[in-house]
Amino acid sequence: MQFFSTRDQNRKVTSSEAIAQGLSNEGGLFVPESFPQVDVKALCELDYPAMAAAVIKEYLTDYSQDFLTEAAHKTYGEAFGGKAGYLAPVEGDTYALELWHGPTCAFKDYALQLMPKLLVEAKKNLGRTEKTLILVATSGDTGKAALDGYHDIPGVEIAVFYPTGGTSEIQRLQMATQEGANVAVYAVRGNFDDAQTGVKKVFGDTAIAAELAKRNIRLSSANSINWGRLVPQIVYYFAAYAQLLKAGRITFGDEVDFCVPTGNFGDILAGYYAKRMGLPVGKLVCASNENNVLTDFLTTGTYTAKREFFKTTSPSMDILVSSNLERLLYHVTGSDAEVAGLMKSLAETGSYTVRPETLAAIQENFSCGWSSEEEVAGEIRVRYEKDNYLCDTHTAVAFHVAAQKKREGVPMVVLSTASPFKFPRSVLEALGRTAPENDFEAMQQLEAATAHTAPASLAALRQKPERFNTVIDPAQIAEVALGYQE
């Protein structure tokens, strides 16, 4: 399997190169040249680690099968407490795919616990010996998941940039307390898009790349623009389907809809890949918070990033530039020139409009909706009081949209992307309580109010010393990168 750039099909790379490099040189994203067709029935009989190895090997064809099997077993066993891809019944034929049983309590662990192993192996496959410097822009969860995955990995340095005040206190502490000799964390003045734009600028700066190359350092990305981030996320769509089959809730071939709380369009795009590989996925429902740029796009065909930015209680979805949408645009149009044109328009004018045929093709697979802050809080409360199901703010965005888009007789799987204890103040307030200022007190009160237990890794943060407190401007991200020596 080869990969090429969404903006230039002539830039072909192997999967090792796609993972080591992250972004194509001219700014495009790497996409697979085809959608491998799999034996869905056989896949559904595998346990999670074996299923992961089987799906991933279809794309990472220059990795050895033994390596992938071992990496998947190491990643999705103990670290996920036996609950990798766990599907919880919620109400009727609506389910929650709980993706937060990994070490940092958000779904990003699925990719970022595996990615470091894929990167080290990619370098081996390519005979590369340079140091890899990973720069990560995060709205909260990616940063911690990447730090946890990459800390103390030989030959790798990682620097994480998060927007000041843009994360929950728990998320901030998860990052600020990170251990490891090769990690650094910076707060960046501005919002997530400012941090992401700052990081992207460094990636696109050939002078910085040349200077770092002199020191035998090469930049790489752990953001969801990296193919290595997307491919592990395809697996849990199969796992959800397999569990519905096993439980006798569907017969093989029945369609299942998925509703995904969406920011950068990575998680939901993985569902699109699963569908194109043969999984009977019906609609992929794109759920947004008040930053509903994707709802507008999927409804009208016009993407407008130039709009008011809202800070919401689901900060990991506070995004106006959804990078992975570019991959979908490529798959739907099949034209690198067209995608390059749209992205140029986005960069220069802050918006673009796709052709009516393109919009129609997208709407065949995707529907959409969004939730106001009030609706998110209401949803948390209703799900808890009616179904005894406690969910976080991001998941609640999706539950609210899922209820509107539910089709009679078609099961709906809501991707539950974070533990409710990651956002304890918002969840507590949604339940009608007055939340204390302190996140840890809120965590304890949430435990007392619901008889659920906070994940140990979150509760333990209270005792951990903070290591990082530097605040910088977006323009200083370049200086940080250039501060690394051989």
To the nearest whole angstrom, how small is the minimum distance from the Cβ of residue 357 to ligand PLP? 25
Helices then strands, each counted (H, E), the chain: 22, 16
Residue 425: DSSP 8-state: H
Give CA separation, 409 vs 196, 246, 253, 365, in Å: 41, 18, 14, 18
Catalytic residue among 108, 117, 131, 275, which?
Answer: 108
CB of 392 to ligand PLP, least distance (A): 7
Q: Verify binding: residue 141, ligand PLP, rule CB under 6 A.
A: yes
| Largest separation between any pair of C-alpha atoms in the chain | 61
Nearer to ligand PLP, 116 or 315 (CB): 315
Taking CB under 6 A as the binding criterion, the range among 51-59, 255-263, 350-358, 435-443 that sits at the site for ligand PLP is 255-263
Q: Is 243 left (phi over 0), alpha (psi -120 to 50) or beta?
A: alpha
Nearest Cα residue to 234 out of 73, 38, 395: 38
> Smallest distance from the beta carbon of 455 to ligand PLP, in angstroms?
14
Per the CB < 8 A criterion, the answer to whether 86 and 98 are in contact is yes
Which residue lies nearer to ligand PLP by CB, 146 or 250? 146
Residue 318 interacting with ligand PLP (CB under 6 A):
no
Give the one residue of 317, 376, 390, 431 binding ligand PLP; rule: CB under 6 A: 317
- The residue whose two tokens read 């103390």 is 152
Task: Please choose, out of 85-93, 263-271, 299-307, 443-451, the segment that lies near ligand PLP by the rule CB under 6 A.
Answer: 263-271
Does 266 contact ligand PLP by CB under 6 A? yes
Between 299 and 335, CB nearer to ligand PLP: 299
Assess whether 131 carries a catalytic annotation.
no
Examine residue 175 and tell whether it contacts ligand PLP (CB under 6 A). no
224 binds ligand PLP (CB under 6 A): yes
If the CB atoms of residues 318 and 338 are measured against ligand PLP, the closer one turns out to be: 318
| Smallest distance, ligand PLP to C-beta of residue 306, A | 20
Q: Find out whether 227 and 3 touch, Cβ atoms under 8 Å.
A: yes
Which CB sits closer to ligand PLP, 121 or 267? Answer: 267
Residues 6 or more apart whose Cβ sits within 8 Å of residue 279 = 40, 237, 238, 241
Among 121, 267, 379, 439, indicate the residue that binds ligand PLP (CB under 6 A): 267
Per rule CB under 6 A, is residue 333 in the interface with ligand PLP? no
Shortest CA distance to 135 belongs to which of 34, 259, 219? 219
Nearest-Å Rg of the Cα atoms of the chain is 21
56 binds ligand PLP (CB under 6 A): no
Q: Does 297 bind ligand PLP (CB under 6 A)?
A: no
| Residue of 412, 71, 16, 88 whose CA lies nearest to 232 | 71
Q: Residues 445, 433: contact at Cβ < 8 Å?
A: yes
**Using CB under 6 A, which of the segments 22-30, 152-160, 173-181, 265-273 binds ligand PLP?**
265-273
Does residue 106 interact with ligand PLP by CB under 6 A?
yes
Residue 239 backbone dihedrals phi, psi, to 5 degrees: -65, -40
Q: Which is nearer to ligand PLP, 317 or 328 (CB)?
A: 317
Binding window for ligand PLP (CB under 6 A); candidates: 149-157, 259-267, 332-340, 433-441:
259-267
The CB density around residue 111, as the number of other CB atoms within 10 Å, is 26
How big is the site for ligand PLP, counted in residues (CB under 6 A)? 16
User: In whole angstroms, how close is the CB of 319 to ligand PLP at the nearest point?
Assistant: 7
Q: Which of 57, 394, 400, 425 binds ligand PLP (CB under 6 A)?
A: 394
Report the alpha-carbon distance of residue 312 to residue 251 in Å, rounded. 39
**Is residue 418 a contact residue for ligand PLP (CB under 6 A)?**
yes
Does 261 sit near ligand PLP (CB under 6 A)?
yes
Decide: is 168 part of the binding site for ligand PLP (CB under 6 A).
Answer: no
Residue ranges of E strands in 73-211? 86-91, 94-98, 131-137, 156-163, 183-188
Rounded Cα gap, residues 301 and 294, in angstroms: 10
Q: Which is nearer to ligand PLP, 47 or 169 (CB)?
A: 169
Q: Which is nearer to ligand PLP, 51 or 328 (CB)?
A: 328
Instruction: Report the side by side order of strands in the sheet with 8-13.
Output: 8-13, 3-5, 30-32
443 is a contact residue toward ligand PLP (CB under 6 A) = no
Question: Residue 340 in contact with residue 28, Cβ under 8 Å?
Answer: yes
6, 256, 270, 274, 297 from 325: Cα distances, Å: 11, 22, 11, 16, 10
- Asked if 43 contacts 274 with a C-beta cutoff of 8 angstroms, the reply is no
Closest CB to ligand PLP among residues 90, 105? 105
**Chain residues in the site for ligand PLP (CB under 6 A):** 106, 108, 141, 224, 261-267, 316-317, 394, 417-418
So which residues are the catalytic ones?
Answer: 108
